[in-house]
Structure 1
Amino acid sequence: MAVNDAHRPTLPALPDEATDRVLASGLLPELAHAFGGPFHFLLPDAFDASLRAAREALDAAGVDGFVYFAKKANKAAVFVERAAAGGAGVDVASVAELREALGHGVRGEHLVVTGPAKDRTLLHLAVQHGALIAVDALDELDTLITGVLTGGVRPARVLLRVLPPAQPHSRFGLDEAELATALERCVRAGDALRMEGFSFHLSGYALQPRADLAARLVELCLKARVQGLEASRISIGGGLPISYTDADSWHTFLAEHDSRHYHAGKTFHTGDFYPYHSPVAGAGALAALLATRPEGHARPLSALLREAGVLLLLEPGRALLHQAGATVFRIQGVKERDGYLILTVDGTSLSLSEQWFNSEYLPDPVLLPQDDADGAPGTSPPGTSSPGTFPASVGASTCLESDLLTWRKIPFPRRPRTGDLLVYPNTAGYQMDSNESPFHDLALPPKIVVDRTDRPRPRWRLDRHFT
């Protein structure tokens, strides 16, 4: 059932040497057999490299900064461990995340606690361990001040989270009036509270709005110091884009894809897709941000930070997890339908989390042929050697009509077969566990840490996160 269709859009992932070595090693079929279901493999060396690159970008710009890993981007313990070993912090938003970060070696003063309406237990633990707390509302600030004044613990370290003017309907942050009130209360709290600065989170990945708002926070720090507050740092959150594919592939895909290329004629809005290519990405995006001139200023953001003596805090998630892992499924059924194949794999779309944005994970999965009765690995059984491609959508092993991992009809170079593996690349950043659940009582895919890929046989272990 090969199809000669030169115009079917593809989206090849950027090459990654470590991932390619794992794919070529023969390890993945053994792991699929051992665990009897889908799994994720993690490449923590990529995390280390991204963390180093972020620090190098700060150093090159002459900016004092500190990086917190946004733990919500991946639950694996190994990334928290690598953050601790690398002297970075961790961004947490729950009691469980805070405890896990501490348990895996992160110092309390290297934690930042974010999220809305934090409960008293979380606030108490944050204060006890000297964590920095991004205050999202006035009642939260009051809880901190009252608790510290009556509890006999160390002063609370806080940032005041600012409502972005460009996103006035956001449910997060303090507006202008609330911010003025919060500053007054911080002054009155005296030594019971350390107001260390301001923070924000912006949706989207544009650099100019981030530079503009960061410059405003620098100005707020200077004004807060006049009131006697410390105000020595700002946090700009995450939002540093990464690139999954090259520019030509991305723009060609956007120009060519339409409902004909998806199972059941499903329509996706281009604006809902993650920007799978970015001209500047990761540490390069950070360098570009620091070089951006905020509106109304004659100098770049880096110069404003240096002159004001303001420490820049970052909370990247995806940007630290670029090429740090992939997700593996086994094909357990193949069906022909209307000129294309529907593959059913041994997992669910909940392991590829773009569905929460009414979107899908677009980078092409890699098909790994496996041994079967028809031939050796990489060979095709009789009747599958015709020229062209084999378009296939990928469904989950559930009874839900809408549960597809990939609606797009991916043009595979050979016919997929039952028992073959599908490897979705670069899924460590938000994809592999944000939406996972044991639906149908299916076990959650385990995470396999590949510590060494520079050997003929990679060394692996189970991640220490067991929840």
Structure 2
Amino acid sequence: MAVNGIPLPPPSLPAHPDPATDAVLGSGLLHELAHAFGGPFHFLLPHRFDANLAAFRAAPADAGVDGRVYYAKKANKAAVWIERCAAAGAGVDVASPGELREALGHGVRGENIVVTGPAKSEELLRVAALQGALTAVDSLDELDRLTAAPRAGGAPPPRLLLRVLPPAQPGSRFGLDAAELEEALAHCARAGDAVRMEGFGFHLSGYAVQPRADLAGHLVDLCLKARVMGLQADRISIGGGFAVDYAAAGDWHSFLAAQQPGHYHAHRRFTPADFYPYHSPVAGAEALRAVLAAVPAGGRDSLGRRLRETRTLLLMEPGRALLDRAGCSVFRIQGVKDREGYAILTVDGTSLSLSEQWFNSEFLPEPVLVTPTGRARGSGVHPACAGGATCLESDLLTWRKIPFPVRPSVGDLLVYPNTAGYQMDSNESPFHDLPLPLKVVVDTATTTGGRPRWRLDRRPAC
């Protein structure tokens, strides 16, 4: 788009400012680490995870509800998050034998682990039962396998939830439909003390508050029915699905109204439906508070009151929301190529380490340009997209022409904000034999020579 023949600058979408991140960007540490590692890396801010966890714990407590938080490990592979869960006595949600071993190996007690995912392997079911983990049963076959597995002498019975197929999402591949649920309840009742059927759970797509409250209310009703059958049924899991608010409302709506193919390399077309909702007026623990305050369909009382009155424990499995503002991804610019009206930057990593691009979408909170002398500042507009160091046309970390305040140069760093939730490592790959980005744990409260202290999240294997 142009006015009087003069092209309009591409729209900007900065992330919410974060003092801890800004302190790292201004410390000089990032260029030192980029030189030391010789490739891209991620830095992690564990104090943000601790604060988010505390907020999620406070929400049910303030509503008078007994709640348990399980960190959804799939959101980020770093060890530090599991270490923080173990230190705080929080739970972890796992879906594979490897994730289960990681949680146990970093000190999380088996009783504080919930095992989710479809069609779990025999190994996963066996170890989960031996360690006293809670298993979300997704099918009748899985229930048969879990309850029929031999138990070691003195081992407690397997603990399980029955996962319910959301009536509003009948096309979901997760959960038991109404007929299967009836059969599963009868199975658990017949099993008696050989199994601990502790309640129900669901996997619900989307971030809307009311559908989550509606289905949670239905699960409370199911608990009451199961108790009449002699089953424990004293808890429900509402899963994850708590939005993260990445950007200010005004910036987000202005961006959506202005963005068009000309603002992207190769005139790439995106519609608003292609994007994650980078602004959410109700997000994180506040979204949980809203769920608890909502009145489930057909009821008169809030979900929180129903949970209190029925003495039903609330379980939740946030991933992205616990990682809000808990880390950033850093790439060094190793090439700058001019095109008509914008530049193409090539960085020392790939878009496999910024996962949104691999879902036919774009990670929109824009990267910060950090020069050797600090965060780039200026009044100019220097549009540039950012490509990865591979031979693939589709390997772009950012298709959008970011309006940088100064012209980017080789050796500058692009720091993508708030990438800890699902962006860093969901699709990472050593394509072209490029090294996987290391993860660095940063302590902003302690400095050495004016710089934050840091350590590797995992020590390299000998």
Q: TM-score range by the shorter chain?
A: over 0.9
Going from structure 1 to structure 2, the CA distance change for 1:379 and 1:73 (only over 3 Å counts) comes to: closer
Which residue of structure 2 aligns with residue 157 of structure 1? 159
Q: Residue 427 in 1 paired to residue 429 in 2?
A: no
Letter in 2 for 1:415: R
Q: 1:285 maps to which residue?
A: 287
The TM-score, its normalising length taken from structure 1, stands at: 0.95
8 A Cα contact 1:4 1:389, kept in partner: no
| Residue of structure 1 equivalent to 2:391 | 399
User: 1:34-93 CA deviation, whole Å, 9 max, x = no partner?
Assistant: 000000000000000001111111111111100000000000000000011111000000
Deviation at 1:452, TM superposition (A): 3.2
| Cα offsets for 1:313-357 (capped at 9, x unmatched) | 000001100010000000000001121100000000011111232
Q: Deviations over 1:12-48 (max 9, x none)?
A: 1001111010011110000000000000000000000
Q: 1:222-241: per-residue Cα shift (whole Å, max 9, x none)?
A: 00001000000000000011
How many residue pairs were aligned?
455
Closer/same/farther in 2, CA of residues 426 and 379 from structure 1, 3 Å limit: closer
Within 5 A, what are the aligned runs for 1:154-303?
Answer: 154-303=156-305
- What SS is found at the alignment partner of 1:458? strand
Give the direction of change, closer, same or farther, for the CA distance of 1:440–1:241 in structure 2 (3 Å limit): same
Aligned to 2:55: 53
Distance 1:352 1:465, change over 3 A: farther
Question: Which stretch shows the higher mean deviation, 353-362 or 442-451?
Answer: 353-362
Deviation track 1:136-192 (CA, whole Å, cap 9, x = no partner) reads 010110001110469873200000000011111111110001000000111111111
Distance 2:158 2:6 in 1: 65
Check the 8 A contact 1:159/1:199 in 2, yes or no: yes
Distance 2:413 2:451 in 1: 19
Q: State the distance in 1 between where 2:451 and 2:335 align.
A: 30
Change in Cα spacing, 1:98 to 1:398, as seen in structure 2 (3 Å) is same
> Corresponding residue for 2:88?
86
Indicate if the aligned counterparts of 1:5 and 1:388 stay in contact, CA closer than 8 A.
no
Task: Measure, in 2, the Cα distance between the counterparts of 1:359 and 1:245.
Answer: 17
- 2:455 corresponds in structure 1 to 461
Residues 367, 416 of structure 1: 8 Å contact kept:
yes
**Could you say what the CA RMSD is over the residues aligned between the two structures, in angstroms?**
1.7
SS at match of 2:369: strand
Q: Is the 1:41–1:327 contact (alpha carbons within 8 Å) kept by the matching residues of 2?
A: yes
C-alpha contact 1:149 1:192 (8 A) present in aligned 2: no
Cα distance in 1 for partners of 2:39, 2:63 equals 46
Identify if the C-alpha distance between structure 1 residues 4 and 76 changes in structure 2 by more than 3 Å, giving closer, same or farther. Answer: farther
Q: Once structures 1 and 2 are overlaid, which stretch shifts more, 444-453 or 126-135?
A: 444-453
Give SS of 1:415's match: coil
CA 378–144 in structure 1, closer or farther in 2 if over 3 Å, else same = closer
- Confirm or deny that 1:123 pairs with 2:117: no
SS at match of 1:187: helix
1:347 corresponds, among 346, 349, 358, to 349
User: Contact 2:92 / 2:113 at 8 angstroms: preserved in 1?
Assistant: yes
Q: CA 1:307 to 1:79, structure 2 compared with 1: closer, same or farther past 3 Å? A: same
Q: Does 1:410 align with 2:410?
A: no
Counterpart of 2:428 in 1: which secondary structure?
coil
Counterparts in 2 of 1:449 and 1:137: CA distance versus 1, 3 Å: same
Q: Secondary structure at the match of 1:59?
A: helix
Q: Would you say the 8 A contact 2:201–2:237 is kept in 1? A: yes
- Quick check: 1:74 aligned with 2:76? yes
1:419-454 deviations in Å (ceiling 9; x for gaps): 100000000011000010111111100000002345
Give me the whole-angstrom Cα distance separating, in 1, the residues matched to 2:308 and 2:446: 41
User: Do the aligned partners of 2:9 and 2:403 also contact (CA within 8 Å) in 1?
Assistant: no
Tell whether the 8 Å contact from 1:22 to 1:453 is kept in structure 2 after alignment.
no
Give 1:449's aligned residue: 441
Mapped pair 1:390 → 2:392: no
> CA, structure 1 residues 465+163, in 2 after alignment: closer, same or farther (shift >3 Å)?
farther
Is the CA contact (8 Å cut-off) linking 1:75 and 1:465 kept in structure 2?
A: no
* CA offsets 1:112-144 (integer angstroms, 9 cap, x no match): 000011011110000000000000010110001
- Cα distance change on mapping 1:401 and 1:353 into 2, 3 Å: same
Rounded to whole Å, the distance in 2 between the matches of 1:9 and 1:309 is 50
Letter in 1 for 2:420: A
1:379 deviates by 8.4
Structure 2 CA distance for aligned equivalents of residues 191 and 135 of structure 1: 18
The AA in structure 1 aligned to 2:421 is G
